[in-house]
Amino acid sequence: MSPRAAAQPPPLGRVGLAAPLLQGRDPGSARPPSPDLIVNTATPSLALRETPKVPGLPLLGSVLGMARDPARFFLDCYRRYGPVCRLSMLGQDYVLIAGPEAANFLGTREGKESLRSREFWEGLINEYGATRTLTSEDGEAHKQLRDIMRRGYSKESIKGRYNELIEITDRCFARDWPAGKRVPVVEAMQYMVVDQLGTILTGAAPLEYVRDIRITILHILNVLVTRQRPKILLKRPVYKKAKARVFELGQKMIAEAKARYTRIKPEERNLIDDIMAAHIETPDVMPASDLIVTLTGPYVAGLDTVANTTAAIVYTVLKHPGVLARVQAEVDALFAEGAVDEDALLKRLPSLQGAIMETMRLYPIAVAQMRTATRDFVFDGHQIREGEMIYIGTSVPHFMEEFWPEPQKFDIDRYAKPRAEHLQPGAYSPYGRGPHTCLGKSLAEVQIALSMARVFYKLDLELESPDYQLKTKTAPTPGPAMDFKVRVKGFRH
Ligand code: HEM
């Protein structure tokens, strides 16, 4: 890695779930809210607190701690300094607000009015020659875009198509998981995700573009969104070629969606059709310049998130043979009966659901959300100024013993009643919080549950050794390292 690359700011992951309610300001306690946690923009009546500054290396600041393990770094800051502190990286100052207080803040009116996302996504927008994306907007403009895409991104788009999804998934096993071979899990999952999302959301899986999509996303997220790699990487021929191919795919999608517009009924539209209808009927809301970034959006939103999460689940389940046995018993019973519906997925696979939720707690792809302050406001007695860059450490509570007894332990029974540890306010935010909460959440839940059910039903997998410890990567999205491999011993069914 070049020194420049090594010195880039750390991974951010994606961002924030909404549930109001403020927690106690004493880090590590889940006491009721203290009065001075209340956020306001008016002159605070209580004395402001001095915000602690995280000590760091000259210029580099906190880069190294963040690059090593951002989730750990944010947790340490929260423990040492409380819900608010300041840090710097490469000369840029940031405010970190973390813990259940911060997670809950994202969903409050004050949070919505005090935070915006634009700056974070600006580089991606410019790269596509667009004016905006769903992720970059807030307020009314954001609501308009979410309304256009809500149905297409919802699990309605997958209703009645579970068996089609199973066929796609099995096809991926036959292609990418040969018996007797060691398979790079993240990459194999990336191919599976593009195949699944392409077919379900857009009507066709653009498999011949998978490599181009992966290269383009990797570069754009690393360089322009999370800003962990130098801009010079965007001059690489491999990126330029891949980006041109993604634009070619975008143009094809536009042409096909235009041709379909007059042919299909509104109730038959998929995500792509809804976006095209918005463009034709309300071009001021969805201008031509924004079509490519919006139409190829599902791949940016779903590729790394689902691939990293499913790869991590392969690891956690194989690492715990007792959990593997429980999961296999459930999926064997389910698929022995043939066709699958949503009810079966949610109710008949409690161990698998627990394993998925527990993996998403311990390996969150969204360690923090990044926002800019739209105005001066006071959080937990600390003054935050308009224009300041803010990390919102929503994954910090995932590792707090106040919410999760033995937080480092992989315990898939935490989520069932009466324990239901995830339901404590602010404790669990794998899909983010607030207005930008993952729009594909319900779809992703079905996609992940069905894919993992099929993985453990079909494939007989083993880790390199029983004491194998997963290595993780932090860029562009936190998750298992690309060289994480498992051996396919054979097919179970
Ligand atoms: C493991 C699976 C996934 C996780 C953990 C996840 C997580 C997240 C998070 C944390 C955000 C919030 C970003 C922010 O606040 O800035 C987000 C936004 C979003 N996600 Fe997901 N996501 C997943 C899968 C998907 C999938 C499969 C899709 C659809 C194909 C999707 C579509 C979206 C969209 C469209 C947004 C933007 C919402 C907005 O800005 O209003 N996600 N996701």
Q: Where are the domains of the chain?
A: 3-129+368-399
pLDDT, tens digit, 9 for 90 and up, residues 189-199: 999 998 999 88
Residue 408 identity (one-letter amino acid): Q
What atom of ligand 1 comes closest to residue 120's alpha carbon? 16
Write down the pLDDT at residue 308: 96
* Integer Cα distance of 471 and 450 in angstroms: 25
pLDDT over 80 (residue 30): no
| For ligand 1, mutation pick of 200, 370, 438, 445 (most atoms within 8 Å of CB) | 438
Confirm or reject: Cβ of 216 under 6 Å from ligand 1: no
Write down the pLDDT at residue 218: 87
Q: What spacing in Å lies between the alpha carbon of 134 and ligand 1's midpoint? A: 11
354-360: average pLDDT: 98
* Integer Cα distance of 107 and 203 in angstroms: 34
SS3 34: coil
Whether the CB-CB separation of 309 and 479 falls below 8 Å is answered with: yes
Band of pLDDT at residue 250, cut at 50, 70 and 90: very high
* Integer Cα distance of 16 and 430 in angstroms: 8
Average pLDDT, the chain: 88
Percent of the chain with pLDDT over 90: 72
Of 383 and 213, more confident: 383
Is the N-terminal amide bond of 476 cis, ω within 30° of 0?
Answer: yes
Confirm or reject: Cβ of 134 under 6 Å from ligand 1: yes
pLDDT over 60 (residue 32): no
Confirm or reject: Cβ of 309 under 6 Å from ligand 1: yes
122-132: average pLDDT: 95
* Integer Cα distance of 98 and 411 in angstroms: 24
pLDDT, tens digit, 9 for 90 and up, residues 168-192: 999 999 999 999 999 999 999 999 9
pLDDT over 90 (residue 60): no
Confirm or reject: Cβ of 320 under 6 Å from ligand 1: no
Q: Which CATH architecture has domain 3-129+368-399?
A: 2-Layer Sandwich (3.30)
Write down the pLDDT at residue 387: 97
* Integer Cα distance of 416 and 414 in angstroms: 6
Q: What spacing in Å lies between the alpha carbon of 337 and ligand 1's midpoint? A: 33
428-436: average pLDDT: 97
User: What one-character DSSP code corresponds to residue 8?
Assistant: S
Q: What spacing in Å lies between the alpha carbon of 360 and ligand 1's midpoint? A: 13
Confirm or reject: Cβ of 132 under 6 Å from ligand 1: no
What atom of ligand 1 comes closest to residue 370's alpha carbon? 16
Write down the pLDDT at residue 208: 87
* Integer Cα distance of 314 and 339 in angstroms: 24
Lowest mean pLDDT among 407-421, 425-439, 443-457, 472-486: 472-486
pTM attached to this predicted model: 0.90
Which residues neighbour 55 within 8 Å (Cβ) at sequence distance 6 or greater? none
